[in-house]
Amino acid sequence: MSQLNKEDLIHIRRHLHEYPELAMHETATHDYLLKTIESFNQEYIEIKAIPDLPTALLVYVNGSDPKRTIGYRTDIDALPVTEQTGLPFSSKNAGVMHACGHDIHMTVALGVLNWFTEHQPRDNMIFFFQPAEESENGGKVAYELGVFKGKWRPDEFYGLHDNPGLPAGAIGCRMGTLFAGTTEVNVDLIGKSGHAAYPQNANDMVVAAAEFIGQVQTIVSRSVDPIEGGVITFGKLDAGTIRNVIAGKARIEGTIRGLTQKMIEHIVDRLKMVANGVATSYGAEVNIQFNQGGYLPVENNDELTKRFIEFAKQDPETEFVETEPAMTGEDFGYLLSKIPGTMFWLGVDDTSQLHSATLNPKESSIPKGINSITRFLEYRMNN
């Protein structure tokens, strides 16, 4: 196959959209990506499988005069959402949908890879088709399996996320943090149950939990720099069995978000103080567990991101938008904590939000995105 044209790209995107798969189960997606990549010019490339992460795919592109190795990552998984777009190419896998636009991400990555299989890059490149972004930390798993070693270690890493709030094809970015870090937290308060009429013989954890929830609200308002900000939300509280029995246990489940790992650690420390303080004052036991499924913040590297933004601002074929950080999480933060790089947005202009059952990204963003990214990568290789 030669250069992919717009119709090819839309065909690829719609196929991927019709067959979405959940984290770590992206078998058909992997096979389709592999088949597509095998149809490209093979002269400069090497495809590598990861036996312990079977739905992942790595592609190495040999540069003509390499000074460095540039990594490009796309995620490939979908979400447990039932599609409600009514589109003719809606998901054929019941209850699963590319509601985060990773079908767009994959198509753009294939387009960029296809370009460099036809126009040998100056630097070496590594394309990483990564499973399990939405859950199960696919990027971290790959890193810990030692995938990025020797010649397979990029010197710098790039990746994008689609953004319904930006014009189709526009590139958004910012210095510093693009996505917040997230840490999940469970707090168990343990007292003593008893008859509703005899509180003196029990230790009521509904009251302790209420106190805890109230005090937690002062962490962000009183202990966090208001300019930087942070979030603590406890979205689930579970205590008691019936109205006339005092609850001996309460479980409170929440999530913490911050723009830097330092801020998250600060909030975690304060949360422990509040939980332990409430437990002491109520004579309760407390167990606090952090970090099931948390994400590091996506912290863009200063030097590389400055260069990326400079390029995007002056490139006549790129529409650039400077963005605010997003308080949602992204597992690319882990790879960027190990390898310097830049994450950016690709505008897909839609009224629906990410993770919504009606998300319908504009396909015109695909060729525009591919064009801006290949132009940036070539500029990077020549500077």
Asked if 76 is part of the footprint of Zn ion (rule: CB under 5 A), the reply reads: no
Closer Cβ to Zn ion, 100 or 370, answer by number = 100
Minimum distance of Zn ion from residue 26's CB (angstroms): 14
Closer Cβ to Zn ion, 102 or 368, answer by number = 102
Minimum distance of Zn ion from residue 354's CB (angstroms): 6
Burial 81-98 (b: 16+ CB within 10 A, else e): bebebeeeeebeeeebbb
Q: How far apart are CA 237 and CA 246, in angstroms?
A: 15
In the set 26, 75, 156, 162, the catalytic residue is: 75
Asked if 166 is part of the footprint of Zn ion (rule: CB under 5 A), the reply reads: no
Q: For residue 95, what are the CA distances in angstroms to 80, 86, 134? A: 6, 14, 15
Q: How far apart are CA 51 and CA 147, in angstroms?
A: 10
52, 39 Cβ separation under 8 angstroms: no
In the set 21, 83, 123, 134, the catalytic residue is: 134
Minimum distance of Zn ion from residue 79's CB (angstroms): 6
Tokens, residue 354: 């990410």
Asked if 259 is part of the footprint of Zn ion (rule: CB under 5 A), the reply reads: no
**Per-position x/- string for 294-313, each x denoting binding to Zn ion as judged by CB under 5 A, each - no binding:** --------------------
| Closest-approach residue to Zn ion (CB) | 100
Nearest by Cα to 19 from 141, 130, 106, 137: 106
79, 96 Cβ separation under 8 angstroms: yes
* DSSP one-letter string for 83-109: --S--TT--SSTT-B-TT-HHHHHHHH
171, 321 Cβ separation under 8 angstroms: yes
For the question of residue 184 being annotated catalytic, the response is no
Q: How far apart are CA 125 and CA 69, in angstroms?
A: 5
Residues in 334-363 at the binding interface with Zn ion, rule: CB under 5 A: none
Closer Cβ to Zn ion, 124 or 356, answer by number = 356
Minimum distance of Zn ion from residue 344's CB (angstroms): 13
Minimum distance of Zn ion from residue 100's CB (angstroms): 3
Is the alpha carbon torsion for 331, 333, 339, 345 positive or negative?
positive
Tokens, residue 349: 């202009």
For the question of residue 134 being annotated catalytic, the response is yes
Name the one range near Zn ion by CB under 5 A: 50-58, 80-88, 92-100, 283-291. 92-100
Asked if 278 is part of the footprint of Zn ion (rule: CB under 5 A), the reply reads: no
Closer Cβ to Zn ion, 100 or 207, answer by number = 100
- Other CB atoms within 10 Å distance of the CB of residue 5: 10
Minimum distance of Zn ion from residue 134's CB (angstroms): 5
Minimum distance of Zn ion from residue 305's CB (angstroms): 20
What separation, in Å, do the N-terminal and C-terminal C-alpha atoms of the chain show?
Answer: 30
Asked if 180 is part of the footprint of Zn ion (rule: CB under 5 A), the reply reads: no
Closer Cβ to Zn ion, 91 or 203, answer by number = 91
* Phi, psi at 200, each rounded to 5°: -65, -20
Q: State the number of binding residues for Zn ion (CB under 5 A).
A: 1
DSSP strand E in 133-259: where?
156-163, 171-173, 177-179, 181-190, 194-195, 231-239, 245-246, 249-258
**Per-position x/- string for 93-112, each x denoting binding to Zn ion as judged by CB under 5 A, each - no binding:** -------x------------
Closer Cβ to Zn ion, 56 or 279, answer by number = 56
Residues in 6-35 at the binding interface with Zn ion, rule: CB under 5 A: none
Closer Cβ to Zn ion, 180 or 216, answer by number = 180
Q: Which sequence positions are flagged as catalytic? A: 75, 134
Residues that bind Zn ion (CB under 5 A): 100
